[in-house]
Amino acid sequence: MVFLTAGAEQPGGVFALFMPFIIMLAVFYLFLIRPQQKQQKERQNMLNALKKGDKVITVGGIHGEITAIKDDELTLKIADRVEIRVSRSGIARAQS
């Protein structure tokens, strides 16, 4: 018979206790955090690559063509003699 005293720990007890938390953190990183960081990087690269003449769609769904770029502000031509100013972050995607 083996009797354990109150102060004795089993080998690997602390590690085994934290193992499920470590696995959960790894899963969150691989399936949630890492893909989101990759998507944000791709979006930032797309926004930085915008140039005059590109056709874009805004977050609000407005289709237009870039006529001017000034720092963080773009001017979009959305119809004949109709231009609007939008923030660069307001662009959802560039059309091909």
Per-residue pLDDT, 42: 96
Which pLDDT value is given to residue 2?
58
Is residue 50 within 8 Å of residue 56, measured between CB atoms?
yes
Give the model's pLDDT for residue 66. Answer: 97
**Cα distances (angstroms) measured from residue 42 to each of 25, 33, 61:** 24, 14, 20
> Is 51-96 a domain of CATH 2.40.160?
no
pLDDT digits (tens, 9 = 90+) for 55-68: 999 999 999 999 99
Q: What is residue 36's predicted lDDT score, i.e. its pLDDT?
A: 95
Question: Which residue ranges of the chain lie beneath pLDDT 50?
Answer: none
Give the pLDDT confidence score for residue 67 in this predicted structure. 97
